[in-house]
Chains A and B, each alone.
Chain A
Amino acid sequence: MSPLKERFEGLLGTIVRLSTGQRILVSIAAVIFAIGVGVLVILAAGSVASCGSPALYIMGVEFCYNPLEVWLVMFDGSFGGNFEISRTLRWTTLLLFTALSFAIPYKAGLFNIGAQGQFVLGSLGAAVGVIWVATVVPGGAVGRIVLVPTGLLAGAAVGGLYGFLPGYLKVRFEMNEVVTTLLFNFIATAVAFVLVDRYFVDESIQGTQTEAIPEAAELNPQFFANSADFSLPVFVFALGIVAAAYWLLTRTTVGYELRAMGSQQKAAIFGGVDERFTTLFSMTTAGAVAGIGGALYVLMVLGRWQTGPPPLGFDGIAVSILAGNNPLGLFPSGLLFGALQSGGQAIQFQLGIPSELVGVLRGLIILLVATPELFRMMGKRLNRRGVIDIETEGSN
Chain B
Amino acid sequence: MTSRRDVLKAGGVGLTVGLAGCSTGGGGGDEAEYDIAMIYALGGTGDESFSDAANAGLNRAAEEFDISFDDAGPQSNADFADFQNQFARSEDPDYDLIICLGFEHVSPLQENADEYSDQNWALLDAVLDKPNVESWVYAAHEGSYIAGEAAATLSSMEFSAGGGSTDPSNTTIGFVGGAEVPAVQEFEAGFRAGAQSVDEEFELLTSYVGGFDNPGDVEEAAVSMIDSGADVLLHGAGAGGSGLFQACQDRGRFAFGADSRQSETASDFSDIILGSIIKGVDTSVVNAVERVVEGEYEGGVSFELSAGQGGFEVPWGVEIGEEIPQDIKDQAEATKQAIADGEIDVPSTP
Interface on A for B, CB 8 Å cutoff? 53-60, 66-69, 72, 83, 87, 190, 193-194, 197, 205-209, 212, 226-229, 297, 301-304, 306-311, 345-346, 348-352, 354-356
Contact = CB atoms under 8 A, between A and B. Distances in A.
Contact of A206 (B77, B79, B106, B211): B106
Given A197-B180, A301-B78, A308-B104, A59 B17 contact: yes
A306 B179 CA distance: 13
Given A60-B16, A197-B210, A355-B75, 16 more contacts: A68-B19, A205-B107, A208-B210, A209-B107, A227-B89, A301-B78, A301-B81, A307-B77, A307-B179, A309-B77, A310-B77, A345-B82, A346-B86, A350-B4, A354-B44, A354-B45
B74 to A, nearest CB: 8
B180 A69 contact: no
A302 B4 contact: no
B103 A350 contact: no
Interface in B91-114: 103-104, 106-107, 111-112
14 contacts: A56-B22, A66-B19, A68-B23, A207-B106, A303-B111, A309-B76, A348-B72, A350-B4, A350-B5, A350-B70, A351-B5, A351-B8, A352-B71, A354-B73
A57 B44 CA distance: 28
B59 to A, nearest CB: 9
Given A207-B179, A207-B181, A355 B73 contact: yes
B72 to A, nearest CB: 5
Contacts of B211: 193, 307
Nearest to A58: B17
A348 B46 CA distance: 14
Contacts of B111: 303
B157 interface: no
Contacts of B72: 345, 348-349, 352
A207 B86 contact: no
A306 B5 contact: no
Q: Chain B: interface residue count, which band? A: 35 or more
B13 interface: yes
B232 interface: no
A302 to B, nearest CB: 6
Contacts of B13: 53-55, 57
Nearest to B185: A206
A227 B112 CA distance: 9
A348 B89 contact: no
Nearest to B40: A355
Contacts of B73: 348, 354-355
Interface of B: 4-6, 8-10, 12-13, 15-20, 22-23, 29, 42, 44-46, 70-73, 75-79, 81-83, 85-87, 89, 103-104, 106-107, 111-112, 115, 126, 179-183, 210-211
Given A68-B23, A72-B23, A212-B107, A55 B78 contact: no
A308 B77 contact: yes
A229 B79 CA distance: 12
B70 to A, nearest CB: 6
Nearest to B42: A308
A206 B126 contact: yes
A54 B12 contact: yes
A390 B45 CA distance: 50
Contacts of B19: 56, 58, 66-68
B297 to A, nearest CB: 23
Given A206-B106, A354-B45, A55 B12 contact: yes
Contacts of B18: 58
A87 B85 CA distance: 11
A56 B18 CA distance: 9
A8 B109 CA distance: 56
Contact of B77 (A54, A87, A306, A354): A306
Q: Which 3 A-B pairs have the closest CB atoms?
A: A310-B76, A206-B103, A55-B12
Contacts of A212: 107
Contacts of A354: 44-46, 73
B179 A311 contact: no
Given A58-B17, A69-B22, A72-B23, A310 B78 contact: yes
Contacts of B78: 229, 297, 301-302, 310
Residue with the greatest number of chain A CB neighbours at <10 A, chosen from B76, B78, B85: B78
Residue with the greatest number of chain B CB neighbours at <10 A, chosen from A57, A207, A302, A350: A207
A185 to B, nearest CB: 15
Contacts of B182: 206
A345 B181 contact: no
A56 B15 contact: yes
A66 B181 contact: no
A310 B75 contact: yes
A58 B16 CA distance: 5
Contacts of A227: 85, 89, 112, 115
B83 A57 contact: no
